[in-house]
């Protein structure tokens, strides 16, 4: 009973985020092992080589994108929800179009139905960018790139490079690829080997780009956006402030939620994922954003 109560306490958005994370890993692993189960897919043999190449590249990018989006889904972000839904649909369409029916197609299709029915669990339109989350996504980008490369080298046939890679050598080869040292001694013997070398570059570039963006986004918020917001709040407080607590609303630990016309503001601090507002809203009149639902969905 205690275990059941524990699972009931898990927010639905977190549960769905975990499923998206697992699906992203599943799609990526299927991309790396595609050669093996495609040997028995007769229809796939008649597709042009370019179709094989681009389908696998797109699938790999979709997989890693879903992994990164899962972090934002934990924060119940609406934009991440919409993008994840689009990518899942694209994954199903590409796989069905290429006559590829697998566990991944079933999993993605199920997630599409569930997410479509549970859109209310992802209401957050925007929130301040935090250094901690940026570091988490950047770290995940690095780890996932290393995972992709290591697993990819390890799964290759000996005929791909005339070398059989163990896990340790696969990891070292991946590090060389991502640190620009390169693997100049590797000569691709098969189409699959050439595809993998191209894919590891694309996956690495995608991962690093996403990681750097999410790392510098909160820095830009702290250095540029937040000082501008604090200046706006200072003007509003000086003009319309009536409470003794209004003086503390411009302190550095506060975040702000403005009305649509930016004439009124709520100052709050996030503690454990909960927004704690400091006093009442400040502005010329009680703003329209002061509803229970909007305040609850601030973070």
Within a domain: 236: no
What pLDDT score was predicted for residue 272? 59
Q: How far is the CA of 168 from the CAs of 151, 179, 187, 189, 254, in angstroms?
A: 11, 17, 20, 22, 47
Question: What kind and span of H or E run contains 142?
Answer: helix 131-155
Residue 235 located in a structural domain: no
- In this structure, are 17 and 111 located in the same domain? yes
Are 132 and 116 found together in one domain? Answer: no
- Count of domains in the chain? 3
93 exposed, middle or buried (CB, 10 Å; 0-12, 13-18, 19+)? exposed
Domain of residue 172 covers: 128-228
Name the residue with higher pLDDT: 52 or 298: 52
The residue-averaged pLDDT of 11-25 equals 86
Q: What is the DSSP letter of 77?
A: B
Q: Which of 195, 228, 261 lies at the terminal end of a domain, its last residue?
A: 228
Residue 55 included in any domain = yes
User: Does residue 217 fall inside a structural domain?
Assistant: yes
pLDDT value of residue 274: 67
Kindly state whether residues 118 and 136 are assigned to the same domain.
no
> What pLDDT is recorded for position 42?
44
Of 124, 145, 171, which residue sits at a domain end? Answer: 124
Among 228, 260, 288, residue at a domain's last position = 228
The residue among 128 and 140 whose pLDDT is bigger is: 140
Q: Answer yes or no: is 234 within a domain.
A: no
241 pLDDT higher than 50: yes
Q: Which pLDDT band holds residue 6 (cuts at 50, 70, 90)?
A: very low
CA distances to 140, 196, 225, 240, 268 from 202, in Å: 16, 10, 32, 53, 41
pLDDT in tens, 167-188: 898 898 888 887 767 777 888 8
Does 160 map to a domain? yes
Q: What is the pLDDT of residues 60-100, one digit of tens each?
A: 888 888 888 888 888 788 888 888 999 999 888 877 776 55
Tell me the torsion sign for CA atoms 207, 208, 213, 215.
positive
Q: Cα separation of 161 and 190, whole Å?
A: 8
Is residue 22, in this structure, part of any structural domain at all? Answer: yes
Q: Is residue 233, in this structure, part of any structural domain at all? A: no
- Whether residues 11 and 116 share a domain: the answer is yes
């Amino acid at each position: 009973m205690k275990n059941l109560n524990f699972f009931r306490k898990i927010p639905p958005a977190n549960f769905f985020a975990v499923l998206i994370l697992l699906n992203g890993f599943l799609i990526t692993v299927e991309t790396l092992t595609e050669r093996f189960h495609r040997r028995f897919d007769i229809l796939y043999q008649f597709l042009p080589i370019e179709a094989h190449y681009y389908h696998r590249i797109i699938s790999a990018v979709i997989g890693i994108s879903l992994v990164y989006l899962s972090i934002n889904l934990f924060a119940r972000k609406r934009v991440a929800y919409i993008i994840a839904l689009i990518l899942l649909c694209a994954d199903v369409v590409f796989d069905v179009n290429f006559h590829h029916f697998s566990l991944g197609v079933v999993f993605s299709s199920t997630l599409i139905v569930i997410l479509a029915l549970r859109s209310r669990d992802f209401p957050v339109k925007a929130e301040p960018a935090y250094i901690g989350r940026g570091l988490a996504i950047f770290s995940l980008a690095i780890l996932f790139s290393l995972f992709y490369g290591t697993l990819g080298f390890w799964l290759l046939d000996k005929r791909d490079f005339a070398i059989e890679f163990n896990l340790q050598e696969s990891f070292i080869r991946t590090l060389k690829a991502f640190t620009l040292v390169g693997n100049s001694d590797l000569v691709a013997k098969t189409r699959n080997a050439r595809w993998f070398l191209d894919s590891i570059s694309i996956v690495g570039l995608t991962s690093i780009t996403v990681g750097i963006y999410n790392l510098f986004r909160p820095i830009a918020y702290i250095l540029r956006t937040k000082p501008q917001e604090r200046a706006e709040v200072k003007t509003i407080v000086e003009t319309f402030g009536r409470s003794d607590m209004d003086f503390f609303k411009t302190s550095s630990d506060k975040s702000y939620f403005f009305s649509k016309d930016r004439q009124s503001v709520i100052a709050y601090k996030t503690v454990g994922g909960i927004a704690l507002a400091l006093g009442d809203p400040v502005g010329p009149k009680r703003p329209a954003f002061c509803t229970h639902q909007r305040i609850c969905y601030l973070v």
